Amino acid sequence: MFLHFEIQRTFKLKNMKIKLISPRMSQRPTDSYFKRVLSPPLSLVMLATITPKKHSVYIADENTGKINLDDSPNLVGVTVNVDTSLRAFEIANVYRKRGIKVVFGGIHASANHEQMLNHCDAVVIGEAEPIWETLLQDLEKGSLKTVYQCCNAPDLNNVPIPDWSFIDQKKYVYNNVVVASRGCPFKCHFCYNSSKYVSNPFRNRPLENVLEEIKSLKTKQILFIDDNFIGNIEWTKKFISAIKGRGFLWHAAVSADIYQHKDLIEDFASSGCKSLFIGFESINPKSLDFAGKKQNKTEDYTGLINLLHSKGIMVNASLVFGFDNDSPEVFKNTLKWLVKNKIETMTAHILTPYPGTKFYSQLESEDRIIDRDASKYNTSSVVFSPSKMSVTDLQKGYIDMYNNFYSWKNIIRRFPDNKKIVLPYLLFNLGYRKFGRVTSFIGKFGLMHTIGKVARRISYGIE
């Protein structure tokens, strides 16, 4: 049974009541409830943090339980992803019928702002910090505009540390999340970064600011959720140098071209890096070319994996299936490669044409989009006509990939050679994947954060 979740914080100078909502995300058939509550909606926490203190702000995350739609705030802000967009429209409709203003933001809203305006009163395009206060001032004056977009990427020197008191941290597996940068140096065709409305130049936060935020979390284990933690190699080197010897353990996402910086991998290991999420995407070079992913070199994959394993760093391989060069053989070949290289964890995706991306425009021009139900655009459903396989082949191959990769046979075959990786490997493959529905059900009884702490304690000896 879901508990009503609504944390309210009231300031001395009351003015407007602002409600920030994260709609319930659709669940992929291969995922458990864990996926919905891995970490809090950081973008909403940041908005609440920068809201002038004369206003009352509260965050409602529908992923942690049922939310109240019978209240009467002055403004409702909704963060919108493509698979949550239909639910966002429903929520907005409830409030707008009562004359309450609704503003949309988030990556999908930014890339498709004209469509969004059919369902809300205003849209924030891109990063919100530079224009949020202006939007609130306009609302107070009764002159809310329909579109708010900053002309330039915000200066990260002025981004505050998130105030986590706005959310109930016990509802989430991880609260030790940090963003050290904004943007991505690459523009892969299937990614939202290929949208002209989303893309911002890659830039890092000031080193001192990131270190201060880590200190405020009062934990020795950090999960960086940047698009690419090595987007600026020189900054990354300085950061690694700054945290060496402090006893931190950390995890991040990096591009596969980290193999060109082998000395950095050595520094990662010595500074406490324990796992890396890597967008390999495909083992087929032609598919990488199709995606515009020029930074990936398939001939380097095995060397990179072996090097990371030798340093005690787990690999979470992100893979995409359904490129125009993919035939049904891609699943068998990829599984063989994953098992041979003893990849610890794998996240698979069906290639999905997100509206607003270059890939979406391409498929539109080729009349290949066959399903426009936005709730299915969560990388687990086939919504376009593949080139070299049937829709059924792609859908079945995706499901079979998960079932085969996390089968008992292949869990054993992928068992790590490096003893340092064994415990986290077993916890992820068994607790999160194999028995994820059972453990996440237990977590619904207010134990999500506890489960995360216990897993980190067993895996690495610290929380």
Hey, what domains does the chain have and what are their CATH numbers? Answer: 7-149 (3.40.50.2300), 173-460 (3.80.30.20)
Q: Quick one: 50 exposed, middle or buried, by C-beta within 10 A (0-12, 13-18, 19+)?
A: middle
- Helical H runs in 311-416? 329-340, 358-365, 391-405, 408-413
pTM confidence score? 0.91
> Tens digit of pLDDT for each residue in 21-52?
999 999 899 998 888 999 999 999 999 999 99
Closest CA to 335 of 387, 390, 425, 410: 410
* Residues of the chain below pLDDT 70: 1-14, 197-199, 463
pLDDT in the model for residue 10: 36
Query: How many Cα atoms sit within 13 Å of 154 on the Cβ side?
Result: 18
Radius of gyration of the chain (CA): 22
The predicted structure's pLDDT at residue 183: 82
Q: Residue 446 CA to chain centroid, in angstroms? A: 23
Bridge partners, 17 (sequence order):
56
Position of tokens 């509206």?
355
Q: For the segment 154-198, what is each residue's pLDDT rounded down to a tens digit?
A: 778 878 999 999 999 999 998 899 999 988 877 777 887 777 766
Strand runs (DSSP E) across 134-288, as ranges? 147-149, 177-178, 181-182, 203-204, 221-224, 249-254, 273-281
49 with 74: CB under 8 angstroms? no
The count of other CB atoms within 10 Å of the CB of residue 151 is: 7
